[in-house]
Homo-oligomer: A and B are copies of this chain.
């Protein structure tokens, strides 16, 4: 079969995260057989997103404008600055509806072995941002993984050296979980941080 276009579609679909050979084949066959209309739509959405989505000058999250909607909103609480690893993390925090301050998106986490140092995650910009007048507390909301914790530790020290207060998201038992099935490290943290 002279399926160069099909093969290259399958190969390209495999670049999506979580998509292997089988899923890519299924996607390609599905589109061609059942949803041809989605193909130009998806092509347009990809092109538009690649062209229009840049990073906010102030917080580095994804934005189509120089300043993202959060940073451009004067109604937010300027005393709070929340540091997250990715725009996806920021979106999750926003969806909770329980945070009204500003953000700073690292676009990564410290991982020296992968060549990600303080420069790559913009620590200097973060320190400058945190030193702006009005900022009273930097909330470190990096992941609770080894790399996320290391990143939080480095940031805490750097902020402390400049006299800026930082806090960390609470560790504890997730909502909806039965204690029996929660890992011991989490229970230990929940005990220590009880209130």
User: Which A residues are within 8 Å of any B CB, using their own CB?
Assistant: 1-6, 8-9, 11-13, 15-18, 23, 25-33, 35-36, 38-50, 52-53, 61-65, 68-70, 86-88, 91, 94, 107
Q: Which residues of B contact A49 (CB under 8 A)?
A: 5-6, 8-9, 28, 31-32, 39
Q: Given A2-B64, A6-B62, A87-B33, decide whether A46 and B43 contact each other with a Cβ distance below 8 A.
A: yes
B29 touches A88 (CB 8 A): yes
Q: Given A47-B43, A50-B40, A69-B1, decide whether A35 and B63 contact each other with a Cβ distance below 8 A.
A: no
Q: Which residues of B contact A40 (CB under 8 A)?
A: 46-47, 50
A53 touches B12 (CB 8 A): no
**A46 CB contact (under 8 Å) in B4, B29, B39, B65:** B39
A64 touches B4 (CB 8 A): yes
List the B residue with the shortest CB-CB distance to A42.
B12
Q: Which residues of B contact A48 (CB under 8 A)?
A: 5, 8-9
Q: Which residues of B contact A17 (CB under 8 A)?
A: 26-27, 30
Q: CA of A37 to CA of B68 in the docked complex: distance in angstroms?
A: 23
Q: CA of A26 to CA of B86 in the docked complex: distance in angstroms?
A: 11
Closest 5 CB pairs of A and B: A39-B50, A43-B43, A12-B45, A43-B46, A15-B38
Q: Which residues of B contact A27 (CB under 8 A)?
A: 16-18
CB distance from A65 to the nearest CB of B (A): 6
Which of A12, A13, A86 neighbours the largest number of chain B CB atoms within 10 Å of its CB? A12
CB distance from A56 to the nearest CB of B (A): 9
B64 touches A5 (CB 8 A): yes
Q: Which residues of B contact A2 (CB under 8 A)?
A: 63-65, 68-69
List the B residue with the shortest CB-CB distance to A30.
B17
Q: Which residues of B contact A45 (CB under 8 A)?
A: 5, 8-9, 11-13
CB distance from A173 to the nearest CB of B (A): 23
